[in-house]
């Protein structure tokens, strides 16, 4: 028992160190990618650096608060918490309240920052989905439909904003939880097929999404339009070669590459630090996932294990989606690189999720009797077998 606790403590330390270096690397790259743009447009080369440091400080404060919360309480209030953030998400569609940027209404103006409720909703959906799927066998058919609507409604709002990137991440989070939980397999596979058909329909229904797919298949067909961003990203990696141009020496960030300090910051990493920087970034995220899953399987609490696994999956999956987009192996989506890209909502939401990770590590044995289900054993055991 003591050996297991020591092992978990060691994994937790490695996890913290990993996140620290990811965040520190992000600070360095945000400054490198933004200082020229900030000088020309904001009159202060440190503008985005200072804001990113502010967001990190806010995220750390939120993470500390969330680490003190009782998972049992969050579990019991999951539907209410999710409903509140679904309401905030809906407010982004209200004229005069929601802020239109980049052709999408994803933000609420708080004055000191634009809040993107969708970044937080990914994790409130996680809470609600864990409770739903872990108790699915205990619900009546009417309850199943009512609670399921609470999971599906935010996905519909994401489509209306539109924000297909966050829609995809949120849908994958729900699917991942359904797989790990006690959700009956016959329903899981049927839902998986229907979800794939529905997502495909949403994808082809909007001309701009099809345009992105065509640009992904052949960006050179429209090099000044839909293919411009990907082509500039290719050029950044080509300039970087193996060792890179040197930190701060990117040419593409000088008003050629859009979103150089945000969604396409990985391109700047490739140009300035070369293949060495690219592979080092990838290794940091692989380590994040591996250590996170090892922590998850070390817990006795099923809910805690599923929650940590889902948080690690969500952050890691988004990271590799972003890398895939920037490298041109996936269609362009509006997703940033967690902990590294500039952005307040993303940073605070991800830090809050890490706070939940540490809260899960503190689940008291007396809580285990209340956080349980009456269903069959879930595939979380397969995850434990794979990482043990």
Whether the per-residue pLDDT at 379 is higher than 70: the answer is: no
Which residues have a Cβ under 8 Å from the Cβ of 152 and sit 6 or more positions away? none
- Count of CA atoms in the C-beta half-sphere (13 A) of 237: 16
What is the per-residue DSSP string for 267-317? HHHHHHHHHHHHHHHHHHHHHHHHHHHHHHHT-S-HHHHHHHHHHHHHHHH
C-alpha triplet 58, 63, 66: angle, nearest 5°: 125
In this prediction, residues 117-129 reach a mean pLDDT of: 96
Which among 264, 280, 316, 295 has a CA at the least distance from the CA of 362? Answer: 295
**pLDDT above 80: residue 67:** yes
Q: Between the CA of residue 49 and those of 35, 147, 196, what are the distances in Å?
A: 8, 42, 40
Which range of residues forms the domain containing residue 290?
A: 2-387
Q: Is the model's pTM score more than 0.85? A: yes
pLDDT tens-digit map of 101-115 = 877 889 998 777 789
Neighbours of 41 (CB within 10 A): 11
Record the tokens describing residue 323, joined without a space.
Answer: 């890398």
183 closest CA partner among 224, 233, 147: 147
Please confirm whether the linkage preceding 162 is cis (ω < 30° from 0): yes
Per-residue pLDDT band for 374 (boundaries 50, 70, 90) equals: very low
Total number of domains constituting the chain: 1
Name, in order, each residue with C-beta under 8 angstroms of 205's C-beta and a sequence gap of 6 or more: none
Alpha-carbon distance of 167 to 215, in angstroms, equals 21
Residue 345 CB partners (closer than 8 Å, separation 6+): 107, 113, 114, 115, 116, 117, 118, 119, 120
What whole-number distance in Å separates Cα of residue 256 and Cα of residue 362? 48
Nearest to 158 by CA among 82, 81, 86: 86
Mean pLDDT of the chain: 89
Contact in structure between 252 and 16 (CB atoms under 8 Å) = no
Nearest to 209 by CA among 336, 335, 332: 332
Residue 217 — pLDDT band, cuts 50, 70, 90?
confident
| CA–CA dist 163, 107 (Å, integer) | 11
Query: What are 256-297's pLDDT values in tens digits?
Result: 888 899 999 999 999 999 999 999 999 999 999 999 999 999
Whole-number Å distance between alpha carbons of 229 and 5: 48
In the chain, count of helices (H) and strands (E)? Answer: 14, 3
pLDDT for residue 376 is more than 60: no
Give dist(CA 63, CA 83) in Å, integer: 21
């Amino acid at each position: 028992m003591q050996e297991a606790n020591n092992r978990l403590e060691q994994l937790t330390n490695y996890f913290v160190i990993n996140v620290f270096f990811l965040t520190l690397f992000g600070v360095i790259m945000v400054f490198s990618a933004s200082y020229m743009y900030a000088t020309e447009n904001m009159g202060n080369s440190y503008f985005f650096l200072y804001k990113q440091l502010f967001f990190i400080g806010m995220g750390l404060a939120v993470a500390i608060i969330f680490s003190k919360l009782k998972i049992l309480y969050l579990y019991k209030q999951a539907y209410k918490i999710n409903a509140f953030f679904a309401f905030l998400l809906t407010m982004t569609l209200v004229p005069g309240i929601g802020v239109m940027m980049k052709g999408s209404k994803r933000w609420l103006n708080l004055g000191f920052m634009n809040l993107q409720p969708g970044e937080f909703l990914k994790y409130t959906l996680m809470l609600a989905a864990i409770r739903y799927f872990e108790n699915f066998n205990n619900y009546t058919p009417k309850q199943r439909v009512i609670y399921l609507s609470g999971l599906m409604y935010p996905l519909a709002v994401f489509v209306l904003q539109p924000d297909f990137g966050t829609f995809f991440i949120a849908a994958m989070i729900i699917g991942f939880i359904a797989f790990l939980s006690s959700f009956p397999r016959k329903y899981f596979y049927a839902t998986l097929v229907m979800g794939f058909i529905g997502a495909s329909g949403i994808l082809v229904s909007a001309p701009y999404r099809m345009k992105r797919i065509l640009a992904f298949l052949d960006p050179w067909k429209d090099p000044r339009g839909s293919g411009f961003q990907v082509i500039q990203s290719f050029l950044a990696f080509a300039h970087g070669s193996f060792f890179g141009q040197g930190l701060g020496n990117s040419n593409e960030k000088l008003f050629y590459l859009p979103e150089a300090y945000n969604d396409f910051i990985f391109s700047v990493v490739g140009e300035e630090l070369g293949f060495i920087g690219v592979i080092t970034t990838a290794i940091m995220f692989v380590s994040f996932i591996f250590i996170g899953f090892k922590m998850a399987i070390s817990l006795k609490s099923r809910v805690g294990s599923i929650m940590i696994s889902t948080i690690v999956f969500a952050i890691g999956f988004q990271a590799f989606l972003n890398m895939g987009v920037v490298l041109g192996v996936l269609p362009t989506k509006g997703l940033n690189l967690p902990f590294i890209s500039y952005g307040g909502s993303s940073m605070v939401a991800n830090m809050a999720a890490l706070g939940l990770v540490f809260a899960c590590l503190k689940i008291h044995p007396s809580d285990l009797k209340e956080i349980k289900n009456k269903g069959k054993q879930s595939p979380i055991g397969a995850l434990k077998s794979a990482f043990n």
